[in-house]
Amino acid sequence: MKKQLILLLLFAAVLGTASAQKVIVRTYIEKTHMSPKTGTSIGFENQFQWEYGAFFQEASLMESFMMSEEDKESLPHQYEKEFAGIYFAVPVVSREQIVLKANVRTGVSNGENFVITPSLLADYKPMKHVRIGMGVGSRAFRPTLQASVSFAF
């Protein structure tokens, strides 16, 4: 799994250097119907504010302690230990300090399940290189909430 993530990041880096204006590093927490997940993404944003890159997300420590191994085994398709893949985001509304983007993440969950997760994310830029974000999405036809902090260079 680590090898695949490194290959995805290298692929994103090669594509991004050709047309990117900014590198965006984001850390986020996503509340799903099961429990919170924490994640990190590295992406590129071009002059049209299209963003694309790679991400890695895993179950929070709280979930790992709260669920027994029997619960995890009885819900193999619902329990998500890790989720890694690529993403892209397209601006829907763009103002000077606020950007609303349609985001799609696609990748592999637990090394075996293919997952596509759409979401709508809003970023507020209080400073030049810092963004604070929040959004709503869908995972397995259930709503999710997301909060993030990102740095754009």
Residues with Cβ < 8 Å from 142, sequence gap 6 or more?
A: 32, 33
Strand partners, 115: 107
Per residue in 98-114, pLDDT (tens digit) is 999 999 999 999 888 89
Cα(115)–Cα(108) distance, integer angstroms = 6
Map tokens 């993530």 to a residue.
Answer: 5
Expressed as residue numbers, the domain containing 46 is: 2-152
Residue 47 belongs to a domain with what CATH number?
2.40.160.20
pLDDT exceeds 80 at position 148: yes
Per-residue confidence (pLDDT) for residue 75, from 0 to 100: 53
The CA R_g of the chain, rounded to the nearest whole Å, is 16
In the structure, what pLDDT confidence band is assigned to residue 60 with cuts at 50, 70 and 90?
confident
Domain tally, the chain? 1
Q: What is the pTM of this model?
A: 0.78
pLDDT exceeds 70 at position 130: yes
pLDDT exceeds 70 at position 117: yes
